[in-house]
């Protein structure tokens, strides 16, 4: 045996779920095979067979937060990236697309994160907290991009989707250690 984990390829639809103040909801994950390995990530997940990316985004928001949003609430794809990482001994190679949803105050107050989906917590992050945290937040660089993205969206001027690159999170995490 080589010790190299099997690779699981998948497509995901992720949602930058923000409150009226521009805070971003992130969920926390940990790798059970790597003590201390934890990271914060956006709402969203895998696109199931026969499902469109938009349908997946809406389903994931409902599963993870309890909010049932209509399809017209999803903004356009604003970021894409390819992420590689290992969790629980499985190497994941995933294509991600990110959309924005700005919740109103009542919706933000109604968020009920499912602890089965965010077993290690969740938090609303402001731009300053994102910029100064020593914790791992994925995608990286979100603190630098999110305020301008939300400002453009508030003007109704969503940018053309930006590709954030192909990132091997395992390599980046090893370099940070």
Looking up residue 22, the CATH number of its domain turns out to be 3.90.79.10
On whether residue 155 sits in a domain, the answer given is yes
- The CB density around residue 166, as the number of other CB atoms within 10 Å, is 11
Q: pLDDT (tens digit, 9 = 90+) per residue, 70-108?
A: 989 999 999 999 999 988 888 999 999 999 999 999 999
On whether residue 74 sits in a domain, the answer given is yes
* DSSP β-bridge partners for residue 12: 46, 96
Range of the domain at 168: 7-176
Q: pLDDT (tens digit, 9 = 90+) per residue, 145-163?
A: 999 999 999 999 999 999 9
- The CB density around residue 12, as the number of other CB atoms within 10 Å, is 21
On whether residue 1 sits in a domain, the answer given is no
Cα 97 to Cα 119, 129, 132, distances in angstroms: 23, 24, 25
Number of structural domains in the chain: 1
CA–CA gap between residue 57 and residue 53 (Å, rounded): 6
Q: What is the pTM of this model?
A: 0.91
Q: What's the maximum distance between 2 C-alpha atoms anywhere in the chain?
A: 55
On whether residue 2 sits in a domain, the answer given is no
């Amino acid at each position: 045996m080589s010790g190299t984990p099997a690779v699981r390829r998948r497509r995901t639809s992720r949602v930058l779920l923000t409150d009226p103040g521009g805070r971003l909801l992130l969920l926390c994950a940990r790798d059970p095979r790597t003590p201390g390995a934890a990271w914060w990530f956006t709402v969203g997940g895998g696109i199931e067979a026969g499902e469109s990316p938009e349908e997946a985004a809406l389903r994931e928001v409902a599963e993870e937060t309890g909010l049932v949003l209509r399809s017209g609430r999803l903004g356009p794809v604003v970021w894409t990236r390819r992420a590689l990482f290992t969790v629980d001994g499985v190497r994941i190679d995933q294509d991600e697309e990110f959309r924005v949803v700005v919740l109103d105050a009542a919706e933000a107050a109604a968020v009920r994160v499912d602890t089965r989906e965010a077993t290690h917590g969740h938090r609303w992050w402001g731009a300053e907290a994102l910029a100064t945290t020593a914790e791992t937040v994925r995608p990286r660089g979100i603190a630098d991009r999110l305020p301008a993205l939300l400002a453009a969206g508030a003007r109704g001027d969503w940018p053309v989707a930006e590709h954030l690159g192909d990132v091997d999170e395992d390599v980046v995490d090893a370099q940070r250690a």
